Structure 1
Amino acid sequence: MRFPMPNDAPIGPGRPKDLAKREAILEAAKSLFLSLGYANTSMDAVASAAGVSKLTVYSHFTDKQTLFAAAVMATCQIQLPDLIFAYPDGVPVEEVLLKIARGFQALISSDEAVKLSRLIMAQGSHDPGFGQYFYEAGPKQVLAGMEALLRQADERGLLRIENPLHAAEHFFCLVKGAPDYRLLLGCAGPLEGEAAEAHVREVVGVFVRAYRL
């Protein structure tokens, strides 16, 4: 089963009040999905928690699947806004990659992200299409941004990358690594401070050496 991608833009003229309601709906949805699970979260509950009518929720998000997808995308973009994948002139490739690695490591280590990952795994056993839906709503968007950036690095002669998509996957898998696996299992806490910085610097070093000209 293939789920539709969300319409991330609010319906209507986009007045500040409309945008405020949309943000309230997203915050309420994220909180309820993570605390109650996907199946136990209703549009009525989201409307009540956001302090808006059910009709208002549906005017911004056509159904629960669309709302969930938008909540996932919003969570990712808090730590990894689209502009982070831009390649400023004159900035060393290592610095660009470090900025992305820091943002991604902070994202996957956040309490929200850990709860969301566990929710996806639990829900996926009940609905095989749910994992694909989550992937397209969140991780796929992040990979697309990284793929485009690495293609630029190759075109500018900064790195030699024959397959930018595969390289993007390698990069994020390196950042996640064993620390994220232990975190998801609940047998270790998130990397923080100097430990987190040492990890991302090591990852970027390994990645650059692998793709250096």
Structure 2
Amino acid sequence: MTIPQPASKEARPAAGPGRPKDLAKGAAILDAAQRMFLRHGFEGVSMDQIAAAAGVSKLTVYSHFGDKDALFTEAARVWCEQQMPGSLFERAPHLPVRERLMDIARSYFAMICAPEAVAGHRLLCSPQMVEKQLARLSWEAGPQRVQEEFARFLERRIAAGHLEIDDVQRAAGQFFALVKGDLHSRLVFDCDTGEAACPDRAGSHLEAAVDMFLRAYGARQPAA
């Protein structure tokens, strides 16, 4: 996603304490911000431009999100939540653990390989984003939430006897690292976009990642 330029030091109105926000306007602002940040970068977009694209006043943008840094972080959070909603990790004890892991792997891989996500990843790796701590804030608002939801999913499957994991947080991180593999790095570095986009190759990659995870953490069958 394209990112807004750093907020200026000019005085800006604080969000009103008791006034309800217009949800439709907030959604329009986030949609405009996502599109413009991805297209023009953080420094290439002003709050005035985002307001114009959303069809609202700049005052409305500040009232909803406070400043550009907060708008960027919220846009990243909402986009990630839309791609991987909490419902993906809801209880479904009747479904085999491998099937659930494959569903999560497919959704995550599709999310990180989307053109918007690749552009956003490149942007967040820039020195400016790191210095402004926007990379860290975006991680906490998006991917970290996904990893925490997944860790809770793993804990439920451990309790059900489907998995054996000593360090759940570590295993959660390992799962998503396996799902990324080297295909995501190739996309980010523009080395090979074909393999990640090919359903057969991507599918084989994800099946291998899930099978490796289960070989490490699947519940062992008792010895005969």
**Which TM bucket (shorter chain)?**
0.7 to 0.9
Give the whole-Å Cα distance in 1 for the aligned partners of 2:103 and 2:92. Answer: 12
Which consecutive residues of structure 1, in runs of 5 or more, have no partner in the other structure?
1-10
Superposed CA RMSD in Å reads 1.7
Residue 50 in 1 paired to residue 77 in 2? Answer: no
Question: Whose helix proportion is higher, 1 or 2?
Answer: 1
Q: Structure 1 residue 191: deviation in Å?
A: 3.0
Deviation at 1:32, TM superposition (A): 1.4
Report the TM-score, using the length of structure 1 for normalisation.
0.88
Report the residue type matching 1:169 in the other structure. G
Paired residue type of 2:157:
A
Task: Give the AA of the match of 1:193.
Answer: P
Q: Offset at 1:211? A: 0.2
Counterpart residue type for residue 210 of structure 1 = A
Provide the residue aligned with 1:179 in structure 2: 183
How far the C-alpha of 1:88 sits from its partner, in A, is 0.6
Match among 122, 146, 151 for residue 150 of structure 2: 146
- Judging changes above 3 Å, is the alpha-carbon distance between structure 1 residues 115 and 31 closer, same or farther for their aligned structure 2 residues? same
Describe how 1:12-91 pairs up with structure 2 within 5 A.
12-13=19-20, 18-91=22-95
**Per-residue deviation, 1:175:** 0.6
The amino acid of 1:176's aligned partner reads: K
Q: Which residue of the partner structure matches residue 217 of structure 2?
A: 211
**In the aligned structure 1, how far is the partner of 2:20 from the partner of 2:126?**
38
Residues 129 and 135, structure 2, Cα contact 8 Å, conserved in 1 = no
Query: 2:69 corresponds to which letter in structure 1?
Result: Q
Larger displacement relative to structure 2 (147-156 or 111-120):
147-156
> Once the 2 structures are TM-superposed, how far is the Cα of residue 180 of structure 1 from its aligned partner?
0.6
Deviates more, 1:35-44 or 1:92-101: 35-44
- Counterpart of 1:199 in structure 2: which amino acid? H
Tell me how far apart the structure 2 counterparts of residues 125 and 38 of structure 1 sit (CA, whole Å). Answer: 9
> Could you say if the C-alpha distance between residues 126 and 87 of structure 1 is closer, same or farther in structure 2, counting changes exceeding 3 Å?
closer
> In the alignment, residue 215 of structure 2 is paired with which amino acid?
R
Asked whether 1:162 is paired with 2:166, we answer yes
Q: Give the TM-score of the pair, scaled to structure 2.
A: 0.84
* Offset at residue 100 of structure 1 (A): 0.4
User: In the alignment, is the contact (CA less than 8 A) between 2:69 and 2:134 conserved in 1?
Assistant: no
What fraction of aligned residue pairs are identical, expressed as a percent? 40
CA distance in 2, matches of 1:79, 1:47: 25
Check 1:126–1:195 CA distance in 2 against 1; reply closer, same or farther (3 A cut).
closer
Check conservation: 1:87, 1:96, Cα contact below 8 A: no
Q: What count of residue pairs does the alignment treat as equivalent?
A: 200
Correspondent of 1:129 among 108, 133, 145:
133
Q: 1:22 to 1:108 in 2, by over 3 A?
A: same
Contact 1:76 1:138 in 2 (8 A): yes
2:200 counterpart of 1:199? no
How far apart, in 2, do the equivalents of 1:30 and 1:87 lie?
A: 31
3-state secondary structure, aligned to 1:26: helix
1:159-180 C-alpha deviation (Å, 9 max, x unpaired): 0011111111000000111111
Structure of larger gyration radius: 2
